[in-house]
Amino acid sequence: MIEKPAITDQKIDKTLAERWSGRAFDPTTEVSNDTITSLCEAARWAPSCFGDQPWRFIVWNKFQDEVSWQKAIDTLSPGNQDWAKNAPILILAASVNTFTHNGSDNRWVGYDTGAASISLCLQATSMGLMSHQMGGFDSNKVKAAFSLPDDINLWAMISIGYPASLDELNEEQLERELKARERRPLSEQFFSGEWNTPLNSGE
């Protein structure tokens, strides 16, 4: 597995550092049901506003139901299909839009579902799996193909699988997988006391 841990000013948790969104999945290795349960448990225990847990996830498993899995793959943008077809698991991250306790609009559905999804991806990393979230899919196509309720929000499709071994990749794929991860400097987005005042941590 390609390791390209986050480059940080201070050490961070190994799983947080090592999660990254690769594209070179191994299409031949199955992900067990127990492992899928672990992924979902990680999402399930994310925090949420009023404990509402607005997230809903659908898991498609190529090795258990290839027809449904293919239907889900077909909703991805062509560029994503190119590599996502090698990941045996595809997961939809969706949410209901109103609070269970009073039916009013919940403005945190995206925020909370994002937390649940990254928890699932971090759990994947901790078990040697690779994850890759995609915004590039056709929401209407997904809703139609799987008869989803109209009033839910579709946030991301998440590919999950074991990483392919490097010697199975062509030159273009290899270059893409080995490309360094990048983030903006901490000082541009993390402020101290006031907006736009960089964090005063000796940077």
Q: Which amino acid is at 44?
A: R
In whole angstroms, the minimum distance from the beta carbon of 18 to its own copies comes to 10
Q: How far apart are CA 100 and CA 23, in angstroms?
A: 37
In whole angstroms, the minimum distance from the beta carbon of 150 to its own copies comes to 12
Q: Where in 146-175 is the site for its own copies (CB under 8 A)?
A: 146-149, 155-156
Q: Where in 73-112 is the site for its own copies (CB under 8 A)?
A: 107-112
Q: Where in 170-199 is the site for its own copies (CB under 8 A)?
A: 181-184, 186, 189-195, 199
Q: Is 75 helix (H, G, I), strand (E, B) or coil?
A: coil
Q: Is 34 in the site for its own copies (CB under 8 A)?
A: yes
Residues in the chain: 203
In whole angstroms, the minimum distance from the beta carbon of 13 to its own copies comes to 4
Tokens 């994947």 found at: 124
In whole angstroms, the minimum distance from the beta carbon of 27 to its own copies comes to 19
Among 37, 70, 140, 165, binds its own copies (CB under 8 A): 37
Among 25, 53, 85, 162, binds its own copies (CB under 8 A): 53
Q: Is 155 helix (H, G, I), strand (E, B) or coil?
A: strand
In whole angstroms, the minimum distance from the beta carbon of 166 to its own copies comes to 22
Using CB under 8 A as the criterion, what x/- string covers residues 56-75 for binding its own copies?
A: xxxxxx--xx--xx------
Q: How far apart are CA 10 and CA 30, in angstroms?
A: 36
Task: Compute how many other C-beta atoms are within 10 angstroms of the C-beta atom of residue 85.
Answer: 18
Under 8 Å between Cβ of 60 and 142? no
Among 27, 47, 79, 128, binds its own copies (CB under 8 A): 47
Q: Which stretch binds its own copies (CB under 8 A): 22-30, 31-39, 75-83, 167-175?
A: 31-39
Residue number with CB closer to its own copies (91 or 164):
91
Q: Among 89, 86, 50, which residue's Cα sits nearest to residue 69?
A: 89
Tokens 């550092």 found at: 17
In whole angstroms, the minimum distance from the beta carbon of 17 to its own copies comes to 7
Q: Among 71, 70, 72, which residue's Cα sits nearest to residue 57?
A: 72
Residue number with CB closer to its own copies (29 or 100):
100
Q: Among 58, 3, 6, 8, which residue's Cα sits nearest to residue 199?
A: 8
